[in-house]
Amino acid sequence: MHLSLASLAKPVLHGYFRSSCSWRVRIAFALKGVDYDQVPVNLIKDGGQQLTGQYKALNPMQQVPAVEIDGIILSQSLAVIQYLDETRPGPRLLPADPKKRAQVRMISDLIASGIQPLQNVHILQKIGAEKLQWAQHFIDRGFKALEEILKKTAGKCCVGDEISMADICLVPQVYNAERYKVDVGQYPTIKRLNQTLLEIDAFKVSHPSCQPDTPVDLQA
């Protein structure tokens, strides 16, 4: 079988240790057992390294992550996760059953489109002094809906008993919620799932506390 040089090269993740979108990709790489390199993009330092012309050439949206893989660049975490699922062996990240697969996509989109973007760095910088209350409001709003959905879909994981893209999205979002002092105890299903998932190696090794660009005072 002919393999291109691009397909043999190690993937490169351009991301930030505390970016939930970057963390999603790190979890997916870990679950799939894919070795990769990391290039830190500090969202705070120097006014935001994602805003440089060099990074804009890689990702025109000037967000993280950007992933160089198989000769292409992908810049949306859910697209990266689904690409990995379609091109790499290992555990499925989307279920074979179409109903469960739709539920996984629904939960993933709810988090990735309906909750997380409202607390990203760019948005909170625009909000200013009210950023904590803003973040709390929209996380609580999203978690109230998510809790009701997960009550119907969850087993050991978000959808049934197998880890999926939904779980990959959930854990970083709970981390964000705790950063912004949201009482996750109000959402028992979310809390239970998060605690279970954090015991799994792929979620541990990808955690923001143990990345190459994690500041010393935040390291595990």
Q: What is the CATH classification number for the domain harbouring 160?
A: 1.20.1050.10
Domain with 172, as residue range(s), is: 98-204
106 and 40 housed in the same domain: no
CA distance 66 to 59: 6
Instruction: Walk along the chain (220 residues) in steps of 10 and give the mean pLDDT of each run.
Output: 61 97 98 97 92 94 97 97 97 98 98 92 84 94 98 98 98 97 97 98 98 91
| Dihedral angle, C-alpha 216, 131, 22, 39, nearest 10 ° | -50
Q: How confident is the model over 162-219, as pLDDT tens digits?
A: 999 999 999 999 999 999 999 999 999 999 999 999 999 999 999 999 999 999 998 9
82 and 159 housed in the same domain: no
CA distance 153 to 191: 15
190 and 127 housed in the same domain: yes
105 and 198 housed in the same domain: yes
Examine residue 215 and state whether it is found in any structural domain, yes or no: no
78 and 108 housed in the same domain: no
* Amino acid 3: pLDDT: 47
Unique residue bearing structure tokens 């993937």: 11
Examine residue 214 and state whether it is found in any structural domain, yes or no: no
Q: Alpha helix (H) ranges present in 128-198?
A: 131-153, 165-179, 188-197
* Amino acid 4: pLDDT: 54
* Amino acid 119: pLDDT: 84
Examine residue 154 and state whether it is found in any structural domain, yes or no: yes
Mark which of 91, 116, 135 sits at the end of a domain.
91
Per the structure, how many domains does the chain have? 2
User: 60 CB contacts (<8 Å, ≥6 apart)?
Assistant: 75
Q: What angle do CA 146, 149, 152 make, to 5 degrees?
A: 145
Using only C-alpha atoms, what is the Rg of the chain?
A: 17
113 and 39 housed in the same domain: no
Read off φ and ψ for residue 175, nearest 5 degrees. Answer: -55, -45
